[in-house]
Amino acid sequence: MRRTLGTCYYPEHWPEEIWAEDARRMAEAGLTWIRIGEFAWARLEPSPGDLQFDWLDRAIEVLGQAGLKVVLGTPTATPPRWMADKHPDMFAVDAEGRPRGFGSRRHYCFSHQGYLAESRRITRLLAERYGRNPHVAAWQTDNEYGCHDTTISYSDAARTAFQRWLEVQFNGSIADLNAAWGNIFWSMEYSRFDQIGLPNLTVTEPHPAHVLAFRRFSSDQVVAYNRAQVEILRDHTDVPIAHNYMGRITDFDHYKVGGDLEIASWDSYPLGFLEDRVGADADHQRAYARQGDPDFQAFHHDLYRAVGRGRWWIMEQQPGPVNWAPYNPAPLPGMVRLWSWEAFAHGAEAVCYFRWRQAPFAQEQMHAGLLRPDSKDAPAMAEAQEVARELAEAPEVQPWTAPVALIFDYDAEWAWKTQPHGAGLSYFSLVFDHYKALRRAGLSVDILPSSTRDFTGRKLVLAPGLMHLPQGLKQALAVSGAQVVHGPRSGARDAHFSIPDPLPPALPGLDVTVARVESLRPDMPVPLAGGGAVTGYLEDLEGGAAVMLRTKDAAAVAVCEGSQIYCGGWLDADGLDRLVATACASAGLEVRDLPEGIRCRRTATEEFWFNHTDSDADTPAGHLPPAGLKRLLLG
């Protein structure tokens, strides 16, 4: 598969007279893919049933005639104003019970049957008209499920659907639900499924099993909504279907949505994320303000490669300042090229810049594009063209199995959110801390879902924080032949969020029991003997496994037996570096201590080096200027 570039274009934003010139310039810049249509419902159907597809026919034709390939989006993220009159109760409802309103986007509830039918209808109309269009070479369903906190809705439609969902989960037995949840506590027992409300507006915290079940249900609603569109598209087209996921949006199970699609894609905004999603301290934010976090994009590249079962794209790449973060600096010269190449180094098939031309109107007028509003080139254009020239010489994308794997599980994220046990403790951050430690050690990582049972080719597998650890995964890891690292909180809850008996982690072949857990204030780290500390979360470990990390007070923090390690604390960076070094030594993996902000990644045929800092750096691959990169072909 050749690596390609693209952009996101909104023909409906511009006079038709300039479409051909835009298309000519896109092709000249070396772009291949043009994503269109995902917000255009109001122009496709200005009033109910009044279909106006002629302009889209012409836009696709103009792009196709210029040699470009179209990614056509279904426009369901932006229902037009008339939809709200037709379905006044279609809005998602927030946890305070307030319906969200019209005037931006994503104002629909995934459970609303009327809106689902409208989504199916517009998808079918588009599929019938463009499914065999030779210029439409891929489709995108909707846009960024979950964006603007829209996965979970406390609507009447959601409540009814949730009750039915629970009834199926418990085979119609309310007694089983009461027993599994432990509803005798506070007299919360139900006698019928239709008595079960949504876990909001309770006097104090709602029942954690109820909260987790509602999160699982809400995720399933996204999967079903997406599947409804995919089934229609599949009847009319053979080209791949994608969805564009986001950075650190975890409210639905992306592996499940991805299971219905050929390609995973995600929208990468490194500078915006650093400001509002990475969770970094002020010094780190300042140091990387124009480059973005050195690991955050890479983590998502690896995650979405797993979601796409190997096939993934960047559907939207930040080309300059964005509009939506607390501060929106411009990238350091060279970063747009670096971000593009970093995606390719992690196996991307395509990188598309958002957006072609900066819009002079509406919410995103402060968001850069490849072109300025006056159609002159913005600074990113030259970098995109440079990448296009470089790509012409680069090898094709080849699959590769990294010897190091890290499990990321959406259900575990929801479990931690349901009961974090300490302010600010998040599963995403725990996994990301492990990922960063692996990257500091110069390792390339594959992220895997918790449904993985085949670990062939892996030398080291990290599985931190899997609060619900299915028996099949425990067994598969124990016999995988890889060095395995579990914990903290692995196996801490059963499938319905109760503490299991025997006590966690109950791992085959590893004699350790978590006897007590405590969460720690951020200002009370517990130092480890030999360097590093436990922060945030600490368990008391009992059992006969050998101790490999202890507190200065000699309490066991990490223990090992055979090829399994259990770590019962959330380690700081120094502690994690020690844990990774020890695990790599027993796995027979070479570690490299990379300089600050220098990262490397290998593919089947190449090794890439990236300088994420704003100064010159000496790296194991030689000198790299700020935002510099090097691609080495492997023997």
Q: What does residue 621 show for φ and ψ, rounded to 5 degrees?
A: -100, 15
Per the CB < 8 A criterion, the answer to whether 503 and 481 are in contact is no
Spatial separation of the C-alpha atoms in residues 296 and 293, rounded to whole Å: 6
Query: Among the residues of 443-538, which ranges form H helices?
Result: 471-478
Choosing from 38, 45, 316, 349, the catalytic residue is 316
Picking from 73, 11, 13, 83, the residue whose alpha carbon sits closest to that of residue 47 is: 83
CA-to-CA dists, residue 449 to 319, 406, 424, 446, 452, angstroms:
31, 9, 24, 10, 6
Give me 53's structure tokens.
């597809």
CA–CA dist 470, 381 (Å, integer): 48
CB atoms under 10 Å from CB of 578, counted, come to 19
Maximum separation of any 2 CA atoms in the chain, in Å: 76
Active site residue 316: yes
User: What is the C-alpha separation between 338 and 327, in angstroms, rounded?
Assistant: 21
Nearest CA to 32 out of 62, 63, 1 is that of 63
Q: Of 39 and 53, which has the nearer Cβ to ligand GAL?
A: 39
Residue 551's identity, in one-letter code, is T
Dig out the tokens for 77 from the structure: 């993220």
Least separation in angstroms between CB 148 and ligand GAL:
9
Say whether the peptide bond before residue 505 is cis (omega within 30 degrees of 0). yes
Minimum distance, C-beta of residue 369 to ligand GAL, in the bound complex (Å): 10
* Interface ranges with ligand GAL (CB under 6 A): 143-144, 147, 267, 269, 316, 322, 324, 354, 364, 367
Q: Read off the amino acid at residue 3.
A: R
Element of type H or E holding 447? strand 445-448
Picking from 537, 535, 572, 532, the residue whose alpha carbon sits closest to that of residue 550 is 532
Cβ contact 229:124 at 8 Å: no
Which residue in the block uniquely carries the two structure tokens 């090829």? 563
Distance of alpha carbon 79 from alpha carbon 118, whole angstroms:
9
Distance CA 584, CA 403 (A): 11
Contact yes or no for 229/119 (Cβ under 8 A): yes
Nearer to ligand GAL, 13 or 24 (CB): 13
d(CA 349, CA 137): 14
327 φψ region: left (φ > 0), alpha (ψ -120 to 50), beta (else): beta
**Which member of 38, 45, 118, 144 is catalytic?**
144
Confirm whether 144 is a catalytic residue.
yes
Please identify every residue annotated as catalytic: 144, 316
